[in-house]
Structure 1
């Protein structure tokens, strides 16, 4: 009897501990995550409330998220979320800035009142054309059908969009039901690569110092002999800042989760991290580094309004990316690590700009050599996986000594990538004159094999010996390909 009583008491204590952990640590993250992701999916991407919750928030995700209650206010364009009435968080949509987390309705009102007015971007649609004559169209269609297909009974791949550019024109695209060529889609960490381009634009326009110069961060310069004051732009771009940072998304207490969903200032949180290694010495993928670069852009921009207009005026307007939005934290800093949305076609323009060595419609937008710098490893990098906020090879494709693995599908050596959470990808293959954008909600890494897809696509498109430096980009609204439900 005593044993049964002890077991019962033990189970009760365990239950109380689990509840305490949930309400103290998990519920705030769950509420913030649910409110933010649903707000962006509904008011930025244009999805239904049901789809936003069932797929974007819950599908193949942490089961505890099902305990979070969400409420969508379509009139006021807000989403609130809470756990049994506790730990309530809000997310509010603002034109040109997407969705931002807020603590309460007063905070929502403050954010609304601080929304800047921006000139709309005039769209400049990509030209479309049939695939080249030397491309096997049946093989291409079969490959795209497979990308959009669900191999099992339970959806796991959830591909939402695929766009393929060849010679700067759309030669094929497919969209899931309810997704169109104009639907903004989240890129997650692909946003990092976009901020590389924004910094390149600032470098070209003389708005920032050399990338080897120390990053001017007030907190680092304020303390005499603070070793973090030696961190330069190159260190941050190459993920070699030396700053301590836990990039684990599975842990609700990790730095990346707290930075994105709990802390009011993503950049401020990242800036506060102590040094773990000597700057420039070791590669450690770190979303905080991207948000420190966002803070540096803010410091270089002078006024808040100038800072908030940087992505639009330096990048989105020249490329005609009318669907693009980068969201901010509650303090008004762009979350450069994670929160950009754009249509698949507009995302593809970023890759095309790089394929054309930073030239767009005959005008140079990036410094000569910037693309080469961004897509080359640091001199001391033994693995050669990462450049400067662009991936040079796909994770898992190298042996421990850095040599390429022979037991994986082979892709062109000159391919490079922008990669994002949940299976987002932008692939550039100069030798094939290809740019490939793929988006989905793919949380099971085995459900979609990007490397196999790129390998198969590379065999369908022969190598080109005379890839033009500036492929023609024009204006044509015709859509090639068909929607795939």
Structure 2
């Protein structure tokens, strides 16, 4: 009987550990994720409460999220979530800032603070038919396949596709309940948009040269802090050397805690110590974008001006009337992950980069900014990453296409990409004059192949020589020579 008693005690201890682990680590993450995602999908994207819960929170996700209870307040535009009454988190919607995750005690103070911005005049994109000679049947079949489901149980969930050719929309498709005016999350595509805002600041004289160290109060005020040597460029190229765990499966990882638990995403990011010498090791790190966000705040005269930068510097010039970058509870823009925009607005960002930073005849990004962003970062594996832009697309299993792969290289070599969680992608192909946006909710890597999608579309359009008027020779980014 002694061994039975030992087994019982052992099982009891395991249960206690599991329950403790749930309430200590999983509950706050689950409550934060549920409240934040529901709030953004309901009040920013305009999805129904039932659909947002069913698809965006529970579909293909950890079953423990089903233990989280959510309360949606349509009148006050808040979503609270908790686990059996414990670890309550609240997401608050505010105009021009989207949804912010916070604790119940801070809801009222957040609701009373939001920047007042001038309305953005519309800049509708022109449309055009498919160019003569394009295989219409193949083109439509590629789009239809991307919108279709590979199995009876939905797993692809493509929500929006926009294809631009020579600056005009030639095709767009939308999922059920999604329209041309529906802002959709970009997740890590936000990083590429955030780099464009930094480019706008550089052009306007608000940002120092990229080879200058970033100004972070916590670093600057500590004697002999080695992090004061980290440059803007090292952050943009993911070679800051900062310690950061990017494991999304781990509830206590830095990225999960930063997005769904910590009161300040920027605060957590700047608190990380150095793990390597800056500029020596490439490591994808969502925290680096939020370090840049903190630096951007230091370069602004006020919180009001800082929070208005995305709108005034990027969204207004491009006519992105529905776009928003959400903040943490301390007011810092979560540039790593929390931008929403319509399919056409994401396409406008791509078109700006296709046109070397020029929009309607006006230069919005410094000369050389796009060329630098799309040049391989030092130490990036197989040249897969530039400066907050990807230079290669993932394939099955989320592995990047590698040189020497047995897979055919169907995506043009000059293509570059903004990529995000759940299958978000913005593809720019200068040699084809193409911009391709695909937004959805695809958690299974086997449900959708971005290389086949982008490569299939690109193969139907002619390749042209570089435009002689396109000038990347003058570099105004002031990046260090290597």
TM bracket (short chain) = over 0.9
Question: What SS class does the counterpart of residue 313 from structure 1 fall into?
Answer: helix
In the TM superposition, what whole-angstrom CA distance separates every residue of 1:378-419 from its partner, at most 9, and x where no partner exists?
3554620000000011243444xxx35232442100000000
C-alpha contact 2:115 2:308 (8 A) present in aligned 1: no
Instruction: Find the counterpart in structure 2 of residue 115 from structure 1.
Output: 114
What are the within-5 Å matches in structure 2 for residues 23-422 of structure 1?
23-104=23-104, 106-381=105-380, 383-395=382-394, 396-399=399-402, 403-422=403-422
Aligned residues: 466
Q: Structure 1 regions of 5+ residues with no counterpart?
A: 471-485
CA RMSD after TM alignment: 1.4
Question: What SS class does the counterpart of residue 24 from structure 2 fall into?
Answer: helix
Q: Structure 1 runs of 4+ off > 4 angstroms?
A: 379-382, 466-470
Question: What SS class does the counterpart of residue 36 from structure 1 fall into?
Answer: helix
| C-alpha separation in 1, matches of 2:72 and 2:103 | 16
| C-alpha separation in 2, matches of 1:382 and 1:29 | 31
C-alpha contact 1:433 1:467 (8 A) present in aligned 2: no
Shift, 1:134, TM fit = 1.8
| C-alpha spacing 1:382/1:247, structure 2 compared with 1 (3 Å) | closer
| C-alpha separation in 1, matches of 2:258 and 2:410 | 37
Question: What SS class does the counterpart of residue 321 from structure 2 fall into?
Answer: coil
Question: What SS class does the counterpart of residue 30 from structure 2 fall into?
Answer: helix
| C-alpha separation in 1, matches of 2:29 and 2:272 | 20
| C-alpha separation in 2, matches of 1:362 and 1:301 | 28
In the TM superposition, what whole-angstrom CA distance separates every residue of 1:139-164 from its partner, at most 9, and x where no partner exists?
11111000000011111100000000
Greater RCO, 1 or 2 (C-alpha within 8 Å, sep 6+):
1
Question: What SS class does the counterpart of residue 256 from structure 1 fall into?
Answer: helix
C-alpha contact 2:431 2:466 (8 A) present in aligned 1: no
| C-alpha separation in 1, matches of 2:290 and 2:388 | 12
Question: What SS class does the counterpart of residue 247 from structure 2 fall into?
Answer: coil
Instruction: Give the TM-score, by structure 1 length.
Output: 0.94
| C-alpha separation in 2, matches of 1:391 and 1:263 | 27
| C-alpha separation in 1, matches of 2:13 and 2:380 | 50
Question: What SS class does the counterpart of residue 428 from structure 1 fall into?
Answer: strand
C-alpha contact 1:430 1:467 (8 A) present in aligned 2: no
| C-alpha separation in 2, matches of 1:392 and 1:382 | 11
C-alpha contact 1:383 1:398 (8 A) present in aligned 2: no
Instruction: Give the TM-score, by structure 2 length.
Output: 0.94
Shift, 1:377, TM fit = 1.1
| C-alpha separation in 2, matches of 1:20 and 1:409 | 49
| C-alpha separation in 1, matches of 2:89 and 2:377 | 41
Q: Structure 2 regions of 5+ residues with no counterpart?
A: 471-482
| C-alpha separation in 1, matches of 2:435 and 2:255 | 29
